[in-house]
Structure formats: C-alpha cells, structure tokens
Structure 1
C-alpha cells in the first residue's frame, strides 16, 4: 500500500539543472530542492524502457527517445557523474565522443534519484522503481522492526532481503519472458543481499578484471536473439572517495574505464544498444570545520536525536519520540542556509523519494531529512570514522551529485 500525503502531487517532476543548486545564496524552501526526474528521466526508468522494447510484460517505456533494440547492455560505472565526465574530455576521449552531436552522439544526463548513493541507485536501476517503492532510502536507514540502523550497502545488521525489498527485478521479469539475461560483475557481489534484491535474474557471471567483464558481456549479448546484460565497474568511485575527484588516481581510473567502454563497444554483436551510465556523481569537500560539521561534537544537532542515518550530504535524522518537531526546528535553524532541511512528510510531499511511498518504507525515512545545498558535510567523527575521512562525497540533489550520463552505442 502506498502512503501518499494529501499535499503530494504524484505526477510532480522537477527538472534538475546544473545551476539550480548553486545560484541561491539565501535559504530556499523545501519545495525548491531540484527533485529527480522520476518517471521520465531517472535511473529507475532505464531498464523498464529497455525491457518494454523487448516485449517484457509489466514494463513500460518511460524514456521514449530510447529506440528499442533486440540486444541491450547497461554498463554502470560507479561514481562517474555527468559533470565529472564533461570536465575530463582528455581522460575519456571515447565517452566524450558519444556526447558530440556532430559525430552522431546522443549522450545526455539523467537523474540518479534521492539520495544519490550506490545502494539506493542500484536498487532503482535493477527494480525500475524509485526509492520510496523499493525501500532502500539511503546509505544507512532505520529498520522500524528493530530500531537499529541498517547499512544497506553492506547489509549490516543482516535483514531478510525479500522482506526488505519484495518487488521483482527487471532482470527477473525479462528472464521469465524468455529474454537471455545476465549480470557480469565482480565475483564478490554474486551472493550479496543487495545483488539478490536489486540485480538478480538470469545468470550471474563473476570476473575479476575489467577486460574479462567486457569480453564476457559481449559474448552474453550474442547468446540470445533477445538479450539484456548488465555489467559494472567500481573503482572510479573508490578512488574518488579516497583521493578526490580530479586527483591523479581518479583520473587514471577514468582513463582505464574509458578504454573498457571502447573495448566493449567494439565487440557488440548486431542489433545491440549499449548504454553507459552511473549511480551518482561526486564532490570533494575541504577538511575544515566550516565545510565539515561534526555531529559528534555539536550538542545542538545531537539534542533529541536517537539515531543519525544516511551519509554526510544526505542525512536521515531519527528523533527521540516526542522530540521530532524540536529536532526539525533546530536542524533547520542551524543548517537551513546550507541544507534543504525537511520533516519526513515534507520530503515525501515534495517528491524526494518518488511519487509515492510504500507503507513499509515510511518509517525508514528520517523524522528529519537533510540534503546538502552547499559544499558541506555533516560528519560523525566517532560514529563514522571511515566515512568522515573521505575526500569525495555524494548523496544530495545538487547537479554534481545527481546528474549521471546516459551514453549510447548502437550496432
């Protein structure tokens, strides 16, 4: 059952533009946040569109400009935002060529979804549903059944996967419809709960090297008259978190993955459409008190808070029962010029998590939801020491985090 508040317009879709999040020095109302383009131009719309073109029942073409193909491949590059790609044409010449309309390129940005983080985005990709439906609304979120914070990337503490995310994946629907379906990724991910609830269906094929994944993905595309293949690469994100976007290690990974994309593109069988996309972009945050506000050292932000979830740029704040209004007021007063700060029902009504919220998902969302507008983080140096030390970060609705590429190669 859905939980649509009275003020929520289920059809609302606010386009995201690169300037929206940065050009307003004064605080903006919650309704001004640049909401993802659910239903017409988000990650959740990609696989249903491809599956509909393959004749898979219970799917629909939400991105109508994508022409159907008999064979379809999605290559997801973790952490490669639209703005980062456009800023590095020399490191990514092949992908950059797919942006050049004079050379037949049709690349454009789509929106990741909120929050712009890996677990949420992969679930949106695989299920074809926005976060309010699939129910992975953040890096960490409260399990209403236990009261504990659950890390949805690492699936810790363990929770029954199908109870947490009960919907079939698009891969499962395609496999049931007779489409040759495969996921080609790291062997590490084969049996993870996140893979089970977000990316399972058909055959999982694990390969360690990027080159082996590209070669195998091409083979899998050719294995069926109708095929749907997914492949993935993680280290652009890993280097961004550790060293920062535009660091030498990050640029080295971008150069490498650009060669992988070209390797796959040059092996595509006939009647294939290859789509290159990502799960989120990334922004580097300076290491000073102005840009990194430490929840563990800030008594005002801690007052009345039972659990701090999400991540630095996309926080779920769970209040002590009865303190919800006070916590919202304090967070809005302290952070209102740097974050969009909303109560749970305000964020839902504004469409942050999609056009409707499943009843089971409602209490997973924070009593207060804080999304960064500026280059700032809410870290938690004691609770989250590793996350608090990351250079590159993501999660919010700014263009640098939210916009991801949708590049196409056809044969």
Structure 2
C-alpha cells in the first residue's frame, strides 16, 4: 500500500543547543589512542584535533569496562574504592570524565577507540543502521546480515599502525572475540590473547606491557554492561560486577612495569528506564509514530528512522510533535551539521544515518516489542547524549 502523508505542518528548524555534542577532537574516546601514540613517537595521519592533555608514556594499557559510566562510578564509592581513589588527582593518579561519542553504544565506541575516529568517519553509527547497498538494517555488534568488514570500515586501526611502527601491540580479551568482524575492523593489530578469567587478563596485560620498550595493550571486560541491561544499574547484580571490576583494575595497576600508564575507561554509561507506557513507547503498536517509517534502526534511546520515499519531512514533524518534549529529534542534515557524529561525516556513512535521528533526554525509550523483543525487555539502556550515558571515566595510574 502506498504511503499516505498525515496532515502535519512542515517542521520548524530545530534548535539543537540543548543537545550536548560530544567533545570530539579534545576529549572523546576517539582522541585517546591518537594522543597515547603521539606520546610514543607515532603521529597518526588524519588525527582529528589537538588531542587530550596526557603526559607521554612508553608503555600504555587501556582497560575498557563496558557500561561503566562516569556518573555511575561516582555514585558507588563503596563498591569501587580503588577506582574511586583515582578520581582525585595525585602525583601518579588522576581521573576525569570524557565523552563516548554519539550514539553512546558499544559498537560505535569500540570503533572510535580502536580507529581514533568519530562515528561519522569510521561508519559504525549505531547499534543497527541501514546498509544502503542492501536496503536492510545491519546489526554492527553482531555483524548481521553479513557484509564485508573492510568495505564497511576501511580505515586502519591504531593498533595496526602502532604495530607497523615497531610498538609492541596486543589485545587481551575473551577468546570468542578474536575473530569477530568488529574486532577485525576496530581493535585488531599486533597479537590477540584470549583469556576467560578476568584475573588472567589482568596478569597477561601486565606481562605484555613489559614485553616492549614501547607497548600498547588493550584489555576489556563486558559484564558490567551485561548486568545493567538484564537487572538494571540499581541492582545487586550490577553492584557485584562493579566490585569485581574494581578488584581487577587494582590487580592490574599493582603490576604495572616502569614507565607505564594505565587508563581505565568505558564505552558508555547507562540509565534504568521504568516499565510502563509513560516511559516506554512501543513503536510496533503506535500507528502515529510508524506512519511513513520504513525501517526503525538504532536502539531505544538513540533511534535512526528511515522514511519511505518522500515521507522524511512528515516523519520529522510527527516525531517532534509526539516525543519532542522528551527527545531531541533532528533531520539527518541537522544532526550532521550539529556535529552529533563528529566534525566530518564521510560520504559512504551519510546514507547509513537515519532520515530522522532521535536521542532521548528524559526517562523514555522507543521500544519495539515484536521486532526487538530482547532489547525491549532490558532494564538498563544507553545510546543518547545525556551525561549519564555520554560521560565515561578516564582514570590514570602511572609508574
């Protein structure tokens, strides 16, 4: 059946001043490794800004804790005494918040860390995005439906460039991540070491850090995020995971070899969203929001809306009218011009971004109970540009 436009007025230009755009170029996840490698004598081509204010170190380890937002960490000092101690600056320790990038989601953030580029350039611009070549949504975390990883993200990782420059480079993570497409295009370079136990990862990361005069080591822990999604960040399960990560970080910090810097960071924060119609709008059951939308991409708090031909303006007007009090609702050109995805958006990436982009600033999500049942049942969610989702820690220990 052909699309019929609803009787909505043309949307007014959106004032996006209230949307806190990530600090690309000076204080985002994409700026971390380019700053680190510059301190090791490697200047990356195409570095996007002046970078962070970090002292050089010959040996650097990045420990990325999935889902550990800055605000969550600050709210739980009793569960994370070691990490909390890093929030106060001293002669060899310092902590500050940086921004994840938009959307604040794992695939986009890991790609930003590993490539040193914002989403508008590396192209992983959401949890699910349109593949313009197939017309289908692509899940960039699970890499489904399959597409050529190096066509989707063609830039070399920082790890590959560091390895080629003679820096001892490796990743220490769960064994099942070694051959995933996301690892290949975002985090690969040097050697990969798979370890199941978190303690083994910390011990091996310290060993690898000492293996070179110049070293770049990446290690990762996922279950803080997993507990938050399943049980919420106000749950005992989540607090238990934070306590465990705190012990892991301390274990690694106590084994650092000389001339080292450890950076503990995260890919995004998280917020618990109450259940019920006041906080969860079900796209699959809302005829008004479905009108003119061909595909619903992204995730609950950061949506890409792909419109039927000729319907983008109507979709923009409807969504602003219905959810505009609770969400930032921008047309593609507006979101790009405002810098949501970075200061530059590659031509190959632009069409992956929704005709309309929606980012929540209130306690609200757009779920899809029929097409996304697992995601719709989550308690903790993320993706948007609120401080709780966007700010992540950058905690430093030096020897």
**Does the pair score TM above 0.5?**
yes
In 1: Cα distance, 2:44 partner to 2:377 partner: 43
In 2: Cα distance, 1:102 partner to 1:51 partner: 24
In 2: Cα distance, 1:231 partner to 1:365 partner: 30
| Aligned residue number for residue 241 of structure 2 | 253
Q: Does residue 372 of structure 1 match 2:368?
A: no
| Aligned residue number for residue 350 of structure 1 | 338
Decide whether the 8 Å contact of 2:205 with 2:217 is kept in 1.
yes
Q: 1:56 aligned to 42, 57, 71, which one?
A: 42
Decide whether the 8 Å contact of 1:98 with 1:104 is kept in 2.
no
Aligned residues between the structures: 384
| Aligned residue number for residue 30 of structure 2 | 44
In 2: Cα distance, 1:64 partner to 1:366 partner: 31
Q: Give the match's secondary structure for 2:344.
A: coil
Q: Give every structure 1 segment of 4 or more consecutive aligned residues whose post-TM-superposition deviation is greater than 4 Å.
A: none
**Where in structure 2 are the equivalents of 1:7-406 lying within 5 Å?**
29-58=15-44, 62-101=50-89, 105-406=93-394
In 1: Cα distance, 2:50 partner to 2:27 partner: 8
Q: Deviations over 1:79-133 (max 9, x none)?
A: 0000000000000000000112368642000000000000000000000000000
In 2: Cα distance, 1:365 partner to 1:143 partner: 10
Q: Deviations over 1:200-253 (max 9, x none)?
A: 000011000000000000000000000000000000000000000021000000
In 2: Cα distance, 1:365 partner to 1:63 partner: 26
In 1: Cα distance, 2:64 partner to 2:52 partner: 20
In 1: Cα distance, 2:309 partner to 2:364 partner: 28
Q: Call closer, same or farther: CA 1:172–1:382 in 2, change over 3 Å.
A: same
Decide whether the 8 Å contact of 2:93 with 2:398 is kept in 1.
no
Q: Deviations over 1:150-191 (max 9, x none)?
A: 000000001100000000000011000000000000001000
TM-score by length of 1: 0.92
TM-score by length of 2: 0.95
In 1: Cα distance, 2:52 partner to 2:152 partner: 31
In 2: Cα distance, 1:49 partner to 1:105 partner: 18
For structure 2, which runs of at least 5 residues remain unmatched after alignment?
1-13
Q: Deviations over 1:289-323 (max 9, x none)?
A: 00000000100000011000000000000000111
For structure 1, which runs of at least 5 residues remain unmatched after alignment?
1-27
TM-superposed CA distance for 1:55, in Å, is: 1.0
Q: Give the match's secondary structure for 1:333.
A: helix
In 1: Cα distance, 2:50 partner to 2:125 partner: 22
In 1: Cα distance, 2:82 partner to 2:18 partner: 36
In 1: Cα distance, 2:284 partner to 2:290 partner: 7
In 1: Cα distance, 2:51 partner to 2:88 partner: 20
Decide whether the 8 Å contact of 1:41 with 1:62 is kept in 2.
no
Decide whether the 8 Å contact of 2:27 with 2:52 is kept in 1.
no
Q: Call closer, same or farther: CA 1:181–1:208 in 2, change over 3 Å.
A: same
